[in-house]
Chains A and B, each alone.
Chain A
Amino acid sequence: MNEILTVTDLKKYFEVGQSGLFNKNSTMVKAIDGISFSVLEGETLGLVGESGSGKSTVAYTTVGMYAPTSGSIKFKGTDLFDKDGKRSLASKKNIQIVYQDPSSSLNPRQTIKDILEMPLRLHQPEKNTLEQTIRLLDLVGMPPEYMYKNPHMLSGGEKQIIAVARALATDPSLVILDEPTSALDVSVQAKMINLLLDLQKKLNLSYLFITHDLSLMRNVATRVAIMYLGKICEIADTSDFFQKPLHPYTQMLLSSIPVISDAEEAMKPKKVISKGEIPSPVNIPNGCSFNTRCPFVEDICLKVDPVMVNQGNNGHMVRCHLFSKNIQ
């Protein structure tokens, strides 16, 4: 399968604390600190992490809201950003995003028609917008009369469906889903996920699915990547990932999930007692960034940052000294 999105050594730092004429001391928040991954055509890559791990920054950088500090993002082989860090309108068409909270991502003063027409008018001015709006609503299974409603007349799930319709208005090939169901109840989430999977099949979409819900990723993702403090610490095929989680952080995450059946309990790795909290990205620990919470920490972890190593043949990558040693 072709790579649709290729991210290589991407870094995004934010400056905090104004640096001005008199104040030269500003600090850098390393929101993303050198990550590489790719999204293949038609697949769902699940990007999982706790709050503060930088997963939303990945979403915003990929969609072009932030220019990266360094590294490259390529869409089908061409760079997303030109030399000035700007993006052309045509390149924006291909990558769209669905935000976490539909109540704040839809303008309350616009009707659904206005909301859906905006991207249509920008990207496909030659087509009849009314026809297109009806087609979009039909695509996501909404009756056309919803056009004249305002967002506040819809339930949370319906609002999120409109947000998906808006993302699809430009016929994108990659949709970034930034926690699209975390504001919804489970029964609504189930409907939403099924809609997304149907659309993926119908339109051959690729998804970059950002979430903190590993159980959901087990059922939705083709591959899963775990992020911790701006770095990817493990990436693998979904079945491989859940059967053989390697990184201590992954094991801690998996063993912390509250599950609802004994079968799932049996699938969890041996309990890795969760301790400590994710450090501030302003002050990332030396060596491996997980060393403050890791139960298997050794001397080397405090000094040297591990590199990604391959484990097995199907692209199971892990960034941990426990595994880099085995190779040597």
Chain B
Amino acid sequence: MPESPNILDIKNLEVNFKVYGGQLKVVDDINFFVRFGEKVGLVGETGCGKTTTMKAILHVLPMPPAVIPKGEIYFKGKNILKMNTNELQRVRGKGISMIFQDPTAALNPVFSIEEQLGAVIRYSINSNKDSKEEIHQRSVVALQEVALADPERLLKSFPTQLSGGMRQRVCIGMALATGPELLIADEPGTSLDVTIQDQVLRLLRKLVEEKNTSVIFITHSLGIVREMTDRVYVMYAGDIVEVATTKKMFANPRHPYTKGLISTVPRLTGGGVASGIAGRIPNYLHPPTGCRFHPRCSSVMDICKQQKPVAYNLDEDHQVACFLYQKEA
């Protein structure tokens, strides 16, 4: 696929986990793409397969138990699933990097920041010659970029000596130190307080916009998605149920699940709390037939129980996988 406008293209990806008693069908035939320089959100509730999808992109799923029976993941036109170890390492070093939800767990408590940050940089410049000084310089720059004061002192400290917000900044600095083209941010602000989250997200946005990095935000916070992204995918139980530009998604959500999700967010303007979505997320061992959302859907029809809906085009930037829109499309 030469000259693709997309940095990342996931086609018909399926991920299963082999467990005692069968296979968990966690990611169920999804299509997903990110354009160059685009900020994309992936929203869904706990256990809907967001993180599994992202781990598949980095090819870091433990296999077994995970199996990928079907699908392609193209990064700049090359299929990640078919790469050899060398190529993969190059992609992970300079192509794609990731920020994790919990900065406390992402940093190793027994190594200093310098050792950890230095390792990332050494790995990416991939040189055998003694480049200690260069690595040190680049570590300092990486910390300065994320607005951390006194980087020399910070490099010598250990993760436990830093506050949560500082740790997350270090993680962001580490992820961006290698100059990646695609950044995956897995709930980057969730474990932080709202004022610190605001600082960290503003910083992250500034950095990716300066460097024109493509970003995937994985989150369950719709507020963060609205502030940070250009386009949103909504995921439910391993399926992408709706995709639209962020504006359209919030102005006019179409899928019953998206509507339910948006209505349950408590508003600053008041008006009480909506009743939520009935039922619970399905069992992946025996997911519901047809549309996986049908047991919880208020506008369920007969066809939903038998057939899996495909993504219907509502307009150029808005697709929804729901039979309600079959005629409209």
Residue positions of A touching B, CB distance < 8 A: 50-51, 155-157, 185-191, 193-194, 197, 212-216, 218-220, 239, 242, 252-254, 256-261, 263-264, 267-268, 274-275, 277-278
Contacts and interface: CB of A to CB of B under 8 A. Distances in A.
B273 A194 contact: yes
Interface in B262-280: 262, 264-277, 280
Given A274-B199, A277-B165, A242 B268 contact: yes
A212 B260 CA distance: 23
A160 to B, nearest CB: 13
A258 to B, nearest CB: 3
A256 B196 CA distance: 9
A7 B222 CA distance: 37
A258 B269 contact: no
A191 B45 CA distance: 15
Among B163, B164, B265, B274, chain A packs the most CB atoms within 10 A around the CB of B265
B224 interface: yes
A278 B193 CA distance: 10
12 contacts: A51-B164, A157-B280, A186-B45, A186-B261, A190-B266, A191-B276, A212-B193, A219-B272, A261-B269, A264-B269, A268-B268, A274-B198
A260 B264 contact: no
Nearest to A52: B193
The 4 residue pairs across chains A and B that have the minimum distance between CB atoms: A258-B223, A190-B276, A256-B198, A191-B276
B280 A155 contact: yes
Interface string B11-48: 00000000000000000000000000000000001100
B195 A256 contact: yes
Contacts of A188: 45, 276
A51 B270 CA distance: 25
Given A190-B273, A274-B195, A185 B46 contact: yes
A55 to B, nearest CB: 12
Contacts of B45: 185-188
Interface of B: 45-46, 163-166, 193-199, 201, 220-224, 226-227, 250, 260-262, 264-277, 280
A219 B195 contact: no
A194 B268 contact: no
Contacts of A51: 164, 193
Contacts of B264: 186-187, 189-190
Contact of B268 (A155, A185, A259): A259
Nearest to A252: B195
Contacts of A155: 280
A260 B77 CA distance: 35
Contact of A194 (B260, B262, B267, B276): B276
A185 B265 CA distance: 10
A256 B261 contact: no
A260 B250 contact: yes
Contacts of A253: 194-195
Given A187-B276, A220-B273, A277-B163, A256 B197 contact: yes
Nearest to A239: B270
Contacts of A214: 194, 268
A259 B226 contact: yes
A296 B163 CA distance: 25
Contacts of B268: 214-215, 218, 242, 254, 257, 259, 264, 267-268
A218 B226 contact: no
Given A51-B164, A186-B265, A242-B268, 17 more contacts: A187-B45, A191-B276, A194-B273, A194-B275, A215-B267, A215-B268, A218-B268, A218-B270, A219-B266, A219-B267, A257-B194, A258-B223, A258-B226, A259-B223, A259-B268, A260-B267, A261-B250
Contact of A186 (B201, B220, B224, B269): B220
A219 B226 CA distance: 21
A209 to B, nearest CB: 12
A21 B183 CA distance: 54
B250 A190 contact: no
Contacts of A186: 45, 220, 222, 261, 264-265
Contacts of B269: 218, 261, 263-264, 267
A220 B271 CA distance: 10
B222 A50 contact: no
A242 B270 contact: yes
A197 B271 CA distance: 14
A88 to B, nearest CB: 37
Nearest to B201: A258
Nearest to B189: A258
B275 A190 contact: yes
Contacts of B276: 187-191, 194
Nearest to A280: B163
Contacts of B164: 51
Given A191-B276, A219-B273, A260-B262, A212 B250 contact: no
A156 to B, nearest CB: 8
Contacts of A261: 250, 267, 269
Nearest to A215: B266
B238 to A, nearest CB: 16
B274 A258 contact: no
A218 B201 CA distance: 24
Given A187-B264, A215-B265, A258 B227 contact: yes
Nearest to B270: A218
Contacts of A274: 195-196, 198-199
A213 B224 contact: no
A182 to B, nearest CB: 10
Among B164, B227, B274, chain A packs the most CB atoms within 10 A around the CB of B274
